[in-house]
């Protein structure tokens, strides 16, 4: 289970707007297919290497198993940096990337999705090239546009799912989001929709961040302000610092991380290892009662240790952010059935899946003293299903 079934590395050559040739490295880690086709996102970021993708693919195996849907685990991407590239350059890169990847994936083999640096624009370019090379229109990628095979709620799913999961956690303590102060890191897809759902449930979101620092808005980021952030990040591709220029109630803390802000609930939605032991201690001191990871492995082992020692509610990403891949699984189902479910249908299924994952965590993670160790619960629940399938299929 710790050795990938297949690790593919390949050259991606492309030409920029000035006619210069660039060479990047592309990867696909096909980690485990015991319970379904490999499934996991593609990440385009300069930090991408085999170690990062293997950790993500490894976690994906457990996460996908937890969703109750038939999906194996995989991950891929490239060290290509989409930041500052023109649309044409991104398109040429995506096409070059898929011209090799297409021979390794397929709707019954391996179904990639987006991740950091791969959004609907990139999925479009990747899908287009796959369709051209293979001459077939299939559900080979998820996160597709609504008019060409995508699922409703897919863009919102990871963020919504994280909040649904946190809601289930709070319920075990007789609490909910109503009136709670929530600190969110990141300002991408996951953070934006987590914020949207928190607002919907009556919580108050006071921070968002990016690699430059974080903004703290004491009055709360309301719907209108969130719409501004979405436009800023998704269309203008600007920096979060611009938020503090637009809204006087906010301040921008350059280079800072939002964990120093007093809150009831923290949702780390940026990237791996963004929340260390020291930050965890600060959160606990500030009476934070619940931490649910929207990103993958944002808390360091020291941070997790602190949360568990203080016995506050803590959910690892492989449980709390599984809503994204779960909805990808629902997109695959819709593609296979050649139908499209309504927004309400998908949302309802997502909610049910997140509740099921929460129940599994409780089943396997509840300690003798009544404290639920969600890390243990998620790992064991995910493991059991995959291990049983591997044993049933014999030594292969």
Partner 1 sequence: MDAKMQAKIDGFMEEVKIRNGHEPEFIQAVQEVAETIIPYIARKKYIAVKTFCCAW
What amino acid positions are annotated as catalytic residues? 75
| Minimum distance from residue 376 beta carbon to partner 1 (Å) | 4
Shortest CB 37 distance to partner 1, Å = 20
The distance of closest approach from Cβ of residue 1 to partner 1 in the complex, given in angstroms and rounded to an integer, is 5
Q: How far is the CB of 365 from partner 1 (least distance, A)?
A: 9
Nearer to partner 1 by Cβ, of 352 and 367: the residue is: 367
Binding status of residue 59 toward partner 1 by CB under 8 A: yes
| Residue 55 binds partner 1, judged by CB under 8 A | yes
Binding residue for partner 1, selected from 140, 166, 346, 375, defined by CB under 8 A: 375
* Burial bucket for residue 278 (CB in 10 Å: 0-12, 13-18, 19+): middle
Which of 272, 321, 328, 360 binds partner 1 (CB under 8 A)? It is 272
Size (the chain), residues: 396
Near partner 1 in 308-367, by CB under 8 A: 316, 364
In angstroms, the CA 207 to CA 205 distance is 6
Q: Which of 98, 288, 297, 303 binds partner 1 (CB under 8 A)?
A: 297
Q: Does 227 bind partner 1 (CB under 8 A)?
A: no
* Three-class SS state of 201: coil
Total number of residues that touch partner 1 (CB under 8 A): 28
Structure tokens at 276: 């260390």
87 binds partner 1 (CB under 8 A): no
Task: Count Cβ neighbours within 10 Å for each residue of 57-85 and write b for 16 or more, e otherwise.
Answer: bbbbbbbbbbbbbebbbbbbbbbbebeeb
Asked whether 312 and 173 are in contact (CB, 8 A), the reply is no
Quick one: tokens of 17?
A: 């707007």
44 within 8 A of 122, measured Cβ to Cβ: yes
The maximal CA–CA distance of the chain, rounded, in angstroms, is 65
Is the CB of 44 or the CB of 364 nearer to partner 1?
364
Closer to partner 1 by Cβ: residue 167 or 321: 321
Cβ-proximal residues to 370 (8 Å cutoff; 6+ apart), any chain: none
Query: Given the rule CB under 8 A, which of 45-53, 205-213, 225-233, 284-292 is the region that contacts partner 1?
Result: 45-53
Cα 382 versus chain centre, distance? 17
The dihedrals phi and psi of 335, each to the nearest 5 degrees, come to: -65, -45
Among positions 51, 135, 147, 254, the unique one binding partner 1 when judged by CB under 8 A: 51
How many whole angstroms separate alpha carbon 288 and alpha carbon 278?
Answer: 14
Among 38, 44, 58, 80, binds partner 1 (CB under 8 A): 58
Instruction: Quote the least distance from Cβ 300 to partner 1, whole Å.
Output: 8
> How far apart are the C-alpha atoms of 263 and 239, rounded to whole Å?
24
- In the bound state with partner 1, the residue whose beta carbon lies nearer, of 232 and 387, is 387
Phi, psi dihedral angles at 87 (to 5 degrees):
-55, -40
56, two tokens? 């993500």
Q: Which of 239, 281, 366, 376 binds partner 1 (CB under 8 A)?
A: 376
Q: Which is nearer to partner 1, 57 or 105 (CB)?
A: 57
User: Of 56-64, 121-129, 197-205, 213-221, which part binds partner 1 (CB under 8 A)?
Assistant: 56-64
Integer CA distances (angstroms), 354 to 193, 204, 388, in order:
16, 22, 23
Binding positions for partner 1, rule: CB under 8 A? 1-3, 50-52, 54-55, 58-59, 62, 272, 297, 301, 304, 316, 364, 373, 375-376, 379-380, 383-384, 387-388, 390-391
């Amino acid at each position: 289970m710790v050795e990938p079934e297949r690790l593919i590395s390949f050259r991606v050559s492309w030409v920029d707007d000035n006619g210069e040739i660039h060479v990047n490295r592309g990867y696909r880690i096909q980690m485990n297919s015991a319970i379904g086709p490999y499934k996991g996102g593609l990440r385009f970021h300069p930090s991408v290497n085999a170690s990062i993708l293997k950790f993500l693919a490894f976690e994906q195996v457990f996460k996908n198993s937890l969703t109750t849907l038939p999906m194996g685990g995989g991950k891929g991407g490239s060290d290509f940096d989409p930041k500052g590239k023109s649309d044409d350059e991104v398109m040429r890169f995506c096409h070059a990337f898929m011209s090799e990847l297409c021979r390794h994936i397929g709707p019954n083999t391996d179904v990639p999705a987006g991740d950091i640096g791969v959004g609907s624009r990139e999925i479009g370019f990747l899908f287009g090239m796959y369709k051209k090379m293979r001459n077939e229109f299939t559900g080979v990628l998820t996160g597709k546009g609504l008019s060409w095979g995508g699922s409703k709620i897919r863009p919102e799913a990871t963020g919504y799912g994280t909040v649904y999961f946190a809601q289930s956690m709070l319920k075990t303590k007789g609490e909910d989001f109503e009136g709670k102060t929530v600190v969110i890191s990141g300002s991408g897809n996951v953070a934006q929709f987590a914020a949207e759902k928190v607002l919907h449930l009556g919580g108050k979101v006071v921070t968002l961040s990016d690699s430059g620092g974080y903004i703290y808005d004491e009055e709360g980021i309301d719907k209108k302000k969130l719409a501004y952030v979405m436009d800023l990040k998704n269309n203008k591709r600007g920096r979060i610092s611009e938020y503090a220029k637009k809204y006087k109630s906010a301040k921008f803390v350059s280079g800072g991380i939002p964990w120093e802000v007093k809150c009831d609930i923290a949702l780390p939605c940026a990237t791996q290892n963004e929340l260390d032991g020291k930050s965890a201690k600060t959160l606990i001191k500030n009476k934070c009662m619940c931490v649910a990871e929207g990103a993958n492995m944002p808390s360091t082992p020291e941070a997790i240790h602190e949360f568990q020692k203080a016995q506050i509610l803590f959910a690892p990403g492989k449980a709390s952010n599984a809503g994204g891949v779960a909805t990808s699984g629902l997109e695959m189902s819709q593609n296979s059935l050649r139908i499209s479910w309504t927004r309400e249908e998908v949302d309802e299924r997502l909610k049910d899946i997140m509740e099921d994952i929460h129940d599994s965590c409780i089943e396997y993670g509840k300690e003798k003293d009544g404290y639920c160790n969600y890390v243990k619960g998620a790992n064991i629940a995910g493991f059991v299903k995959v291990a049983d399938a591997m044993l049933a299929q014999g030594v292969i």
